[in-house]
Amino acid sequence: MTAAEFERTVQQEAALWAFIQWVVSVDRTDYAVKLRLHVDAECFVQVYANVQKGLISFTLVVNRARIYGRDCEGGVWHRHPHHAPETHDFSSEGSQAITLARFLVEVQQILQAKGML
């Protein structure tokens, strides 16, 4: 998959979620893309992929701070749990491969629990 194809896939997925208000393409090169899926001005999901290096990062950001995330580096996934987003969770749950759609389900649950949706 190219960076442009990945970007189109993210745009299509974001359009399916009512809580995503707008999408901004922050940066794209031949091999990497970074997008922000905005919930509001202070809350967004940042999606980053480097297709050449096999890196994927899904991050929930609120007030300029990561509060949750899932990353894949070289085919190995880990989670930055909501209760401790600065840590790396390589447990069986934390290391499961995840799609953007599944990450957005998790984001929706977190934001609902925080009373933000």
pTM for the whole structure? 0.94
CA distances from 114 to 60, 70, 98 (A): 13, 19, 22
The full set of domain ranges for the chain reads: 3-113
Confidence at 85, pLDDT banded by 50, 70, 90: very high
Instruction: Examine the pLDDT at 1 and tell me if it is beyond 90.
Output: no
Residues 14, 103: contact at Cβ < 8 Å?
A: no
Concatenated DSSP letters of 60-110? EEETTEEEEEEEEETTEEEEE-TT-TTS-B-STTTTS---HHHHHHHHHHH
For residue range 15-57, list pLDDT tens digits in order.
999 999 999 999 999 999 999 999 999 999 999 999 999 999 9
User: Do β-strands 65-73 and 76-80 pair in parallel, antiparallel, or remain unpaired?
Assistant: antiparallel
